[in-house]
Amino acid sequence: MQFENAFDFEKHIKVVLENQYKNCEVHLATPNTKGYDLTAKLSKKIYAVQVKNHKAKLHTGHIKKFLDFLELTNKKDKKFAGGYLISSSGYYNKVITFLETSEIKNLILFEYKDGKLEIFWKYGKNNLPEPEPIKKKIYIGVFTAKGGVGKTTVSAHLAGGLALNGYEVALIDLDKQSNLRTLLGEGVYIPSYKNEVGANITVLNHDEWEERNYKDIDIVVCDCNPNLNENPKELIKKFDYCLIPTTLNPLGINKNASVIQRTFFDLREINSKANLFVLINNFYPKERKRNANLNRLLKITFEEIKKSDDKFFYIDPLGDDGISIRFSVQLLYWGYHIIEGDEPQLAFAYKGGRSYPREDFLMLTNYILEHTDIEKAKNEKTKRFI
């Protein structure tokens, strides 16, 4: 069914809601209303309804914006009991990951198909697709030719994001400081946010890693030494992906860019197949104007590399995906558990409540595979990231 404009689709959805839910009283929002398109009154409760007739699937940004609207509105007058989001094009799977781990209870997602509404996600419902079997271990290196950019933090919490998705992860410490063992001991168990057994992050030194003896490991994350020559070449050659963390720092833009260029050329001398991703760490999103200027300058320095290498990617924190590792108190004080004598742990709770680090690393987990050879990754190497 074709619709001339968004308003026509909203009117159609009003009729569909009233037909499917006989006791539902639906009203169109007044023109130019921000945040919702319809209201639905059901069992004396009023729900804000947002309708999207896009060609592309809805991403987590759409979900977060609607949740923020509901939260801010309820702080004022508690008008809405929750929200319904209706999409004619569907949703990316990483939307489920965000909603499940954040335990969002006041939102229901619908898909509009063939003239009917189908529930895509609802709290407490089994929403998650079964993963495909993994056939080959994936190797991910986290490397920058300088220290102090959060390499170890990124390595550990990327492993955490993977483990939350059910992957058994080997986290290999190649840095001579061996900070991972100090922070995480021999490893940590990550409980599942689904109704199933969780997954382990197993922390190993390089000389302890033997691929043939770790049959249960799905993904290997390597926290590399900033001196490339100190890293075992046989591991560097195995990298399918490599993350290069950096920061948007006014004094370090030129320096950081040259370090990344050097990192790129060093890695390419050993490994020509890996997809290389530059990631902004410790990002402070509130400084929009300054971030835009710094981001523009940093992107300019990568233009020559991108022309010569189609496996080099800059994960733009201000782009469509908006993926970065944001500054947070949780990450700033990660490791405080050592002082307090607590058990090894990551910087985020594994489920419940909103958490910048957990959200960011789960989004990063999805981004890595979505921006590589998808068919090859799904069919030959990995199970689906959800």
How confident is the model over 314-362, as pLDDT tens digits?
Answer: 999 998 878 999 999 999 999 888 888 888 889 887 766 678 888 899 8
170 close to 374: Cβ distance less than 8 angstroms: no
How confident is the model over 108-130, as pLDDT tens digits?
Answer: 999 999 899 999 999 876 544 44
Residues 6 or more apart whose CB falls under 8 angstroms from that of 111 comprise 86, 87, 88, 90, 91, 117, 118, 120
Show me where the domains of the chain are located. Answer: 6-122, 138-381
User: Mean pLDDT, to the nearest integer, of 125-136?
Assistant: 53
**For domain 138-381, is the CATH number 3.40.50.10860?**
no
CA distances from 359 to 95, 97, 281 (A): 11, 9, 14
CA quadruple 301, 286, 160, 65: dihedral sign: negative
Put simply, whether the predicted model's pTM sits higher than 0.85 gets the answer no
CA 263 from chain centre, in angstroms, equals: 24
User: Mean pLDDT, to the nearest integer, of 131-154?
Assistant: 79
Q: Rounded to an integer, what distance in angstroms lies between the CA atom of residue 94 and that of residue 365?
A: 9
Q: Which residue has the higher pLDDT, 377 or 153?
A: 153
Q: How confident is the model at residue 384 (pLDDT cuts 50, 70, 90)?
A: very low
How confident is the model over 64-100, as pLDDT tens digits?
Answer: 999 999 999 988 888 899 999 999 999 988 888 888 8
CA distances from 289 to 204, 293, 325 (A): 42, 6, 18
Beta strand pairing call for 107-113 and 138-142: unpaired
Domain 6-122: give its CATH architecture: 3-Layer(aba) Sandwich (3.40)
Q: How high is the pLDDT of residue 371?
A: 64
Q: Rounded to an integer, what distance in angstroms lies between the CA atom of residue 28 and that of residue 38?
A: 4
Q: How confident is the model at residue 210 (pLDDT cuts 50, 70, 90)?
A: confident
